[in-house]
Amino acid sequence: MRLDKFLKVSRLVKRRTVANEICAAGRVQINGRPAKPGAEVKPGDILEIGFGSGRTQVRILQLRETVRKEEAADLYEILKTPSDPA
């Protein structure tokens, strides 16, 4: 699945166009490497996403084309949030 689509389906980002913009700006990494919006992601990949002045780190658990809002958080596991100590 494309990175931008995963960010939207998982509800980590509200819209796919926003996902494209943050990827193009270099604020998303897959397994420590800068990622383009069209990069392929798979279960087990670790995403690091820059939101404002902080960074959130998540592990992809599963990929699904569509998901209900209540189930979106089941697609990933949060490893680190901006409020966590470094």
| pLDDT tens per residue across span 23-74 | 999 999 999 999 999 999 999 999 999 988 889 999 999 999 999 999 999 9
State pTM to two decimals: 0.90
Say if residue 85's pLDDT is above 70: no
Q: Phi-psi category of 60—alpha, beta or left, where left has phi over 0 and alpha has psi -120 to 50?
A: beta
Please name each of the domains of the chain with its CATH number: 3-80 (3.10.290.10)
Reported as a pLDDT band with limits 50, 70 and 90, residue 86 is: low
Q: Phi-psi category of 48—alpha, beta or left, where left has phi over 0 and alpha has psi -120 to 50?
A: beta
